[in-house]
Structure 1
């Protein structure tokens, strides 16, 4: 995939996910990418999958540009970002100016993969965890791979609402109400005893600079997502450690105690792991599953692209003992809708 193709593909995804501005920005970058700049040369040197299913170079630069807007560091860019509307030419000129003026900032910013921490994905996690708890009604030890700021480790503090039915804490002010098709999730209420996560670049939402990174990867013409992220950050108490997710998993899996369900989760994070790391992680989890017992069970809940060509991500749950694989749903990447197919 060429860089132009990556921008064009990302433009299509952004429009499909309800962001016409991001579709416009990606289209402008596809046509007018400044290949003669330091950032242009850096992106040209990337190898492997640079598109939305891999390193996501288009979203890296989009996040950096949005950060400049949120920091109020690029007045010309602010003038063409939402809530303002601008022509392609005006947007292109402002982007080119920002890339040259803030070269050092953007070169550093784009070293790391996107860290969206989309809170609406917790709707799928709430439902999936209820299926796991239905099979093993034990306190949950929750582990998240690629946790970013850890906001989705807090799903038991949120409420999932489906056609008037509410699942979760009655005290929560964070309401998730995706368009839902299919049966309701199980009524059982999971109890999270302990939560922890890992990320190569963990973010602390209580720190302004870290919250900026989370907010920067939310698309500028979707203010409701920005508000939801700020609200979720206010209840964040989970611990997210810095480290390689698979090395951390190798240390964490043997620590699962008796009398608890160890639930491993990740949402649109697995694709950023190198292929060798994916294979090692899968082998580690499956080996731990073979050692699982009814009083020390293991669950693996993933919301990831599956290459099927179907819309959205696949929400899948694997359970041990027994190595049961349960396809649960198709989920919009931003959690706007859930097509729940599980009937158990």
Structure 2
């Protein structure tokens, strides 16, 4: 896949995921990317997969442009962004001008891959935790892998609402209302006794520059995502630490306290771990599961792609529980949490 094809493919994906503006922007870049520029030369130097499963170059530059808009650094570009509507010609001229005028900023910005913290994924985490508590009704010792800014570690501050029924806080910081298909999750009263998370590049949303990075990768014509992220970022909470996920998790598993349900969670993170890290992580978690007891149980809740393209494109929701090594297929969810197809009926 060359860069033009990567832009076009990402444009199509964004359009299908409800962002016509991103489709328009990336379609323009597919046709008009300035190859003979410092940015052009930098992007041409990347090797391997430049699409969303690899270096994700289209989203890097789209995020950088959005950062210029959000930070009021490019007012001439901002007038072409949602909620305004621009013609292809006007947007092309504005974007190409921004690529030149703000090239130094964009060269620095695109050194790092995209990083988001999609709060709407917490809908799946709330539902999955309710299932885990149906089996082991204990206070939760929470560990998140690939936690980014830690906003999904805070799902007990949010609420999931399905057809008028609310799961979570009565007055939540964030109310999640995904399109829901299937039975409702079981009732439970989660209590998170302590929480911690890890990421190779953790962000602290209480810092303006870090919050800008998280919000810049939200798509400009989806303001509800921006509103939710800012609301979640305002919560005073423990932030993730920097480190390798499995190296961090192993001693935390060993130290898990009695009288707690140790809940490991990750959303669209595991799939980016190298195969060797995945194998090691699975072995570490399964070994800890083999040592689990009813008074020190372990739950592994994941929302990750499984390659299934037969229906809606999304992630599989899976919960493993120990003791007993029970694997539950909870259903599927949109990568951005817009919908959940719930399969669990226990």
Normalised-by-shorter TM-score class: over 0.9
User: Does structure 1 residue 323 correspond to structure 2 residue 325?
Assistant: yes
**Residue 13 of structure 2: aligned partner:** 13
188-197 or 228-237, which moves further after superposition?
Answer: 228-237
Give the gaps of 5 or more residues in structure 2: none
CA contact (8 A) 2:139 2:260 kept: yes
**Residue 84 of structure 1: aligned partner:** 84
Counterpart-to-counterpart distance in 1, 2:105 and 2:131: 44
Shift in CA distance, 246/32, structure 1 to aligned 2, threshold 3 Å? farther
Taking structure 2 as the reference length, the TM-score comes to 0.94
Alignment of 1:1-344 (within 5 A): 1-309=1-309, 310=311, 311-344=313-346
Counterpart-to-counterpart distance in 2, 1:33 and 1:255: 51
Counterpart-to-counterpart distance in 2, 1:267 and 1:331: 10
For the aligned residue pairs, the C-alpha RMSD in angstroms reads: 1.6
Counterpart-to-counterpart distance in 1, 2:245 and 2:104: 28
CA contact (8 A) 1:150 1:240 kept: yes
* Secondary structure of 2:265 counterpart: strand
Counterpart-to-counterpart distance in 2, 1:284 and 1:36: 48
Counterpart-to-counterpart distance in 1, 2:230 and 2:265: 22
CA contact (8 A) 1:154 1:238 kept: no
Counterpart-to-counterpart distance in 2, 1:331 and 1:308: 12
Quote how far apart the aligned CAs of 1:224 are: 1.5
Shift in CA distance, 75/139, structure 1 to aligned 2, threshold 3 Å? same
Quote how far apart the aligned CAs of 1:109 are: 1.7
Counterpart-to-counterpart distance in 2, 1:257 and 1:229: 31
CA deviation map 1:200-239 (0-9, x unaligned): 2221111111111111111111112111111111224123
Counterpart-to-counterpart distance in 1, 2:248 and 2:46: 27
CA contact (8 A) 1:150 1:236 kept: no
Quote how far apart the aligned CAs of 1:162 are: 0.4
Quote how far apart the aligned CAs of 1:80 are: 1.5
CA contact (8 A) 2:119 2:229 kept: yes
Shift in CA distance, 143/329, structure 1 to aligned 2, threshold 3 Å? same
Quote how far apart the aligned CAs of 1:312 are: 1.3
CA contact (8 A) 2:140 2:193 kept: yes
Counterpart-to-counterpart distance in 1, 2:183 and 2:11: 33
* Secondary structure of 1:253 counterpart: helix
Quote how far apart the aligned CAs of 1:40 are: 2.3
Give the gaps of 5 or more residues in structure 1: none
CA deviation map 1:109-156 (0-9, x unaligned): 222222221111111100011111111111111111111111111101
Quote how far apart the aligned CAs of 1:258 are: 1.6
Shift in CA distance, 19/3, structure 1 to aligned 2, threshold 3 Å? same
CA deviation map 1:159-183 (0-9, x unaligned): 1110011111113242111111100
Quote how far apart the aligned CAs of 1:333 are: 1.3
CA contact (8 A) 2:204 2:239 kept: no
